[in-house]
Amino acid sequence: MPPRMMSLLGATYGMELVYSFLVIAICVIIYFETKQIYRLSSHKGLKYFRYTFLFFAISYLLKFISRLFLIENNVGNNGLLLLVLLLFTMYTYLMAGIYLVLSISWKKRKLGLLNKTFLWNLAAIIIVVLTIFLRFPLGYFLFQAIILIYGIFLLYPRYKKLKGKKDIPLIYVVYPFLLVFWIINILDLFISNFQITLQILIYLFSITLFLSILYKVIKKINIRR
Amino acid sequence: MSKKRERLRVIYDILMIIKQHKNSIKPTPLLRYSNLSSQSFSEYFKELKEREFIKEVLDKKEKKFITLTDKGFEYLEKYKVISGFIEEFEL
């Protein structure tokens, strides 16, 4: 491999490592910061909110490991391991976005089946299996796009009611972007020659979104502590 | 206000009544002060016992009293944080 390619690959590894570490750290902090209030309230929305960040943390860890395998292009005897890793990465990543939407939808009883977690889990498993075995990543992105639209559909009427109010909760800005970047962030798992500048921009924007949520979580949890 | 938030508030109110009565109140006045139907009160009472927010104690005359546990006090202390968090993230 030419030296320039080697250094570029090294930079990609390093960047991916730092980015994954930051996202995992932020998500784990959010998960543990909200542990006490969930233990006391047993609130379903809080449970889904925590699951969102738990699943993000797991998926980013698995994604990093999977990408190492893919970049190395040295699958060899580890083909089955890579397949399992990919299955779990894609499933946990999908569920992270789904739990985010469920955290705001669960109260709407009229949504009926759309609030059933086992159905979402089942749908996620089917989508992941089809994506991998039929080599159809478009199906995965389409499913993510549907969840993004569903999330915006849930948030918009609430946002309209809040218009004119002084303090609009952060989620109305952050959640739609988080879901958009949730779609963009998985692209690099399928597209190996992603442009490095574009990748850096995606990482920076994603980190900003996660940090803004972490800031709000810490601010809210530590009131009068 | 959401159904769940109301539920958290009801739990807060019940625990607050117990606290305001020097952490010792009989079940009947607790039912009266809580402004709930007997059926609703029974459900909440069962839940609070199961989640170890309250406990039943017997005095010297074998009369039953309700008191808060440490977890019950913790809930009262954290209630504003919990409701503020739920509101902020629209949970």
Nearest CA to A124 out of A109, A139, A112, A106 is that of: A139
Burial class (CB in 10 A: 0-12, 13-18, 19+), B5: middle
Asked if pLDDT for residue A221 goes beyond 70, the answer is yes
Helix (H, G, I), strand (E, B), or coil: what is residue A75?
coil
Mean pLDDT, range A213-223, rounded to an integer: 91
* This prediction's pTM: 0.89
Interface confidence (ipTM) of the complex: 0.88
pLDDT digit string, tens, across residues A33-74: 999 999 999 999 999 999 999 999 999 999 888 777 766 666
Residue A40: which of B74, B87, B91 has the nearest Cβ? Answer: B74
DSSP classification of residue B53: S
* Cβ separation A37–B81 shorter than 8 A: yes
The yes-or-no verdict on residue A225 having pLDDT over 60 is: no
Nearest CA of chain A to the CA of B39: how many Å?
A: 21
Helix (H) or strand (E) holding B65: strand B64-68
In the predicted structure, residue A192 carries a pLDDT above the cut 70 = no
Q: What is the mean pLDDT of residues A101-113?
A: 86
Q: How distant, in Å, are the alpha carbons of A43, A126, A144, B24 from that of A114?
A: 19, 16, 15, 44
List per-residue pLDDT tens for chain B, 91 residues long: 444 447 899 999 999 999 999 999 999 999 999 999 999 999 999 999 999 999 999 988 889 999 999 999 999 999 999 999 999 998 9
Residue A106: CATH number of its domain: 1.20.1070
DSSP state letter for A110: G
B90 touching chain A per CB within 8 A: yes
Q: Which backbone phi and psi does B58 adopt, to 5 degrees?
A: -105, 135
Residue B62, pLDDT score:
87
In the structure, what pLDDT confidence band is assigned to residue A170 with cuts at 50, 70 and 90?
confident
Alpha-carbon gap, residue A21 to A25, rounded angstroms = 6
Which residues of chain A have a CB within 8 Å of the CB of B90?
A: 104, 158, 169, 171
- Give contacts of B3 with chain A, Cβ < 8 Å: 107
Residue A224 has pLDDT above 60, yes or no: no
Residue from B69, B32, B45, B61 nearest A40 by CA: B69
Hey, are the CB atoms on A40 and B2 less than 8 Å from each other?
Answer: no
B36-50 burial, b at 16+ Cβ within 10 Å, e below that, comes to beeeebeebbeebee
Pick among 1.10.3210.10, 3.40.50.300, 1.10.10.10, 3.90.1150.10: CATH of B3-88:
1.10.10.10
Q: Are A103 and A48 contacting, i.e. CB atoms less than 8 angstroms apart?
A: yes
Q: Helix (H, G, I), strand (E, B), or coil: what is residue A135?
A: coil
The boundaries of the domain holding residue A83 are 3-221
Q: Which residues of chain B make contact with A34, given a CB cutoff of 8 A?
A: 85
Number of domains in chain A: 1
Test B4 with A34 for CB contact under 8 angstroms: no
